[in-house]
Chain A
Amino acid sequence: MAEPVAGLRVSIRQSAPIALDAELACGRGEVLALVGPSGSGKSTVLRCIAGLHTPAEGRIECGGETWLDTARNKSLSTARRRIGMVFQSYALFPHLSALENVLEGMDDPGSPGALERAQELLHKVHLDGLESRRPHELSGGQQQRVAVARALAREPHVLLLDEPFSAVDRATREKLYGELAELRRDLNMPVILVTHDLEEAVMLADRMTILAHGKTLQSGPPLEVMQQPATVEVARLVGLRNVFEGTVVSHARNDGHTVLAWNGQQLRVRLQVAFAVGSRVAWSLPGAGVLLLPRDRATSAGLDNPIDSLILKLVTLGDRVRVLAGVPGASGAQLAMTVPRHLAERYALAQGQALPLRLRGEQIHLMPADERHRALASA
């Protein structure tokens, strides 16, 4: 098998054709999800790693080799970088069979043992018996598997996956997730997975890097990034809808909580001493941290914060109901949450109805106040 491969380190910057300011690192055997909305530059970052695009400035190291170093005017061509790339469209060679596609992925398809290895790779991606099929005779999921086998054929030092699941239907995607999770156990190189799907990142990646407008904003384990975004921008990008601003009142270190003034009331939240008393902060709360508070039950213990609200909007989505509730007060804050449909029916939730809620303080996460937002607000 391949020699142990050192990880991948990427640091690239450019201002045109699209602005880029990206730093990322991925160890061997690690799967790093590069997540961002469409047009955030994810694919461009991947193309920089592959050498299909050369950024104005930067350095890329992989497997102990320097692939790009603009300071020393060095840039290896794509063919000389040991990469395995799975394109969004798979980009299989249309005139060649599945087996020939994998063989062409090798440096020397004519070498002894090449054929056996190509067959073994196809076996690994569960394509036994389909070796002689041309790409157009394969389903989307099968084409994706050929693309993965072809990418691995070169024994690459990094595996680059550009939205590899976006072109298949949901059922196939679920199946492919399982297969990739299984396959990655045998991979000893860094794997970069570009996706706009946070769920995909949570399921498949060890770490994720959030990218917006070409800039990498935060890296970390997917759940950690989603629950503890570093900035308001990241909070919005990971889909947190409940983001507000408040002021730190005190830190009750002994009781393990921080008191936050918000909307004319005080909230008890998880202890976060990094924010000074009196400072203005932004805070976020996942939808799952907003709970219905039945009228007949007393406030439970812990860091639950009871508040009053008014139902502004109800949207039924299958077996769930999305609730938008307005909080009385100067800020005009709106809380978003999702409740199971049977609960919404039991409580007979209706637009305009008063709705007592509990905000789970354990899940309230503090962030620096959004400077841009404040500048706008004070303007």
Chain B
Amino acid sequence: MDWLALTLSLQLALATMLVLLPIGVWAGRRLAWRRFRGKVLVEALLALPLVLPPTVLGFYLLVGMGGASPLGQWYESLFGRQLTFSFQGLLIASVIFNLPFAIQPMQRAFEAIAPEVREAALCCGMSPLRMLRRIELPLAWPGIVSALVLTFAHTLGEFGVVLMVGGSIPGETQTIAIAIYDRVQAFDTAGAGLMSAVLLLISLAAIGLSYFATSRIGMSRRG
């Protein structure tokens, strides 16, 4: 059992989730309620990671963050090390390929709030922050929870993008999904099987938790 890879995967999944929470809430609200030019284009771009082969996405991220790219050079001048094949680079890639998994459920959740309810909050004199805290987040919470769980589970299982951007550096970029692949390559079927089982259990628990939480919230809201 490769604990290092498992810990790294969990760290990556948690960090991705935390980064995407505010991004998802912000983008989800805007996409749910605002109409603006190019909205369809933005939605299509955000959905792209769903249909693009992970290796293709990974390739572009590798080029975009590599030593020859402006982002890669800027990072290297700042921290003295390259962005690709590092945990930070992996996190950026992970955030990007998880955008649809985080934003779409949150957008649906915010869309489900009746416009009159938000107008009523305005008529009650609520500030945007109070409205977010007291009305929008409590009502959209089930969608936000499932978005976070989807992101978490999806990050744990991602393979193609991680391999392209991060390679397989133990303790830095070797996630559990990569470790399983490496074990199989090394004919260690037992090790691969154990890790697969652990990944399966964690994913199952995460999804189960999300279903449980959302059904509980839905129940307490509707009776």
Binding site for B on A (CB under 8 A): 50-52, 77-80, 82-85, 87, 89, 91-95, 104-107, 134, 136-137, 150-151, 153-154
Taking CB atoms, residues of chain B closer than 8 Å to A150 are 120, 124
Q: Contact at B223–A134, with CB atoms within 8 Å?
A: yes
Please name all residues of chain A whose beta carbon is closer than 8 Å to the beta carbon of B127 when the two chains form the complex.
Answer: 79
Q: How far is the CB of B217 from chain A (nearest CB, A)?
A: 9
Given A134-B223, A136-B222, CB of A93 within 8 Å of CB of B126: no
A106 to B125, CA, bound (A): 8
Residue of B nearest to A100 (CB): B134
- B122, A78: Cβ atoms under 8 Å? yes
B residues 97-123 in Cβ contact with A at 8 Å: 114, 116-117, 119-123
**A52 is contacted by which of B119, B135, B139 (Cβ under 8 Å)?**
B119
Instruction: For B223, list chain A residues within 8 Å (CB).
Output: 134, 136-137
Q: Are A89 and B134 in contact (CB under 8 A)?
A: no
Decide if B221 is an interface residue (CB 8 Å cutoff): yes
| Chain B residues closer than 8 Å to A154, beta-carbon distance | 124-125
B117 to A94, Cβ gap below 8 A? yes
Chain B contact residues, CB within 8 Å of chain A: 114, 116-117, 119-127, 134-135, 138-139, 221-223
Q: Kindly provide the distance from the CB of A240 to the nearest chain B CB, expressed in whole angstroms.
A: 35
Q: How far is the CB of A313 from chain B (nearest CB, A)?
A: 43
* Contact indicator A93/B120 (Cβ below 8 Å): yes
Determine the chain B residues whose CB is within 8 A of the CB of A85 once the complex forms: 119-120, 123
Of the candidates B119, B126, B139, B222, the one whose C-beta lies within 8 Å of that of A104 is B126
- The answer to whether B135 and A93 touch across the interface, beta carbons within 8 angstroms, is yes
A78-B139 CB under 8 A given contacts A94-B117, A94-B221: no
Q: How distant is the Cα of A87 from the Cα of B138 in the complex, in angstroms?
A: 21
Contacts of A87 in B (CB 8 A): 116, 119-120
Nearest chain B residue, comparing its CB with the CB of A88: B116
| Interchain nearest-CB distance for B221 vs A (Å) | 5
Distance (whole angstroms) from the CB of A136 to the closest CB of chain B: 5
Contacts A94-B139, A94-B221, A137-B223 given; indicate if A79 touches B114 (C-beta within 8 A).
Answer: no
**Cβ of A137: which chain B residues have Cβ within 8 Å of it?**
223
Alpha-carbon separation in the docked complex, A50 to B124 (Å)? 11
- In contact, A79 and B122 (Cβ under 8 angstroms): yes
Q: State A150–B120 Cα separation when bound (angstroms).
A: 10
A to B CB contacts below 8 Å, 24 in the list: A50-B123, A51-B122, A52-B122, A78-B123, A79-B126, A82-B125, A83-B123, A85-B119, A85-B120, A85-B123, A87-B116, A89-B114, A92-B120, A93-B117, A93-B134, A94-B117, A94-B139, A104-B126, A104-B134, A107-B125, A137-B223, A150-B120, A151-B123, A154-B125
Expressed in whole angstroms, the Cα–Cα distance for A107 and B121 within the complex equals 11
The answer to whether B124 touches A104, judged by C-beta atoms less than 8 angstroms apart, is yes
- Give every chain A residue within 8 A of B135 (Cβ-Cβ): 93, 104
Which residues in B have their C-beta under 8 angstroms from that of A52? 119, 122-123
Residues of A within 8 Å of B126, CB to CB, are: 79, 104
**Given A87-B116, A89-B116, do A95 and B221 touch, yes or no (CB 8 Å)?**
yes
Q: In the complex, which residues of chain A have a beta carbon less than 8 angstroms from the beta carbon of B119?
A: 50, 52, 78, 85, 87, 91
Smallest Cβ-Cβ distance to A78: which chain B residue: B122
Contact B124 A105 (CB under 8 A): yes
Minimum C-beta distance from A78 to chain B (A): 4
Contacts of B222 in A (CB 8 A): 94, 136
Complex contacts, A136 vs chain B, CB 8 Å: 221-223
Minimum Cβ distance to chain B for residue A176 (Å): 19
The distance from the CB of A60 to the nearest CB of chain B, in whole angstroms, is 15
The residue on A at minimum CB distance from B122 is: A78
Closest to B124 in A: A105
Q: Please, how many angstroms separate the alpha-carbon atoms of A150 and B116 in the complex? A: 14
Taking the nearest CB of chain A, how far is it from the CB of B135, in angstroms?
Answer: 6
Closest 3 A-B residue pairs measured CB to CB?
A: A91-B116, A91-B120, A85-B123
Q: Specify the chain A residue showing the minimal Cβ separation from B119.
A: A52
Instruction: Enumerate chain B residues within 8 angstroms of A95, measured Cβ to Cβ.
Output: 138-139, 221
Contacts of A77 in B (CB 8 A): 122
Q: A51 to B114, alpha carbons, bound, how many Å?
A: 18
Kindly provide the distance from the CB of B220 to the nearest chain A CB, expressed in whole angstroms.
8
Q: How far is the CA of A154 from the CA of B134 in the complex (A)?
A: 17
Whether the Cβ atoms of B123 and A93 lie closer than 8 Å is: no
Assuming the contacts A79-B126, A104-B126, A136-B223, asked whether A93 and B114 have C-beta atoms less than 8 A apart, the reply is: no
B127 nearest in chain A by CB position: A79
Contacts of B138 in A (CB 8 A): 95
Name which of B120, B138, B221 has the most chain A CB atoms within 10 A of its CB.
Answer: B120
**In the assembled complex, which residues on chain A have CB atoms less than 8 Å from the CB atom of B125?**
79-80, 82, 107, 154
Q: How far is the CB of B120 from chain A (nearest CB, A)?
A: 4
* Chain A min CB distance to B59 (Å): 45
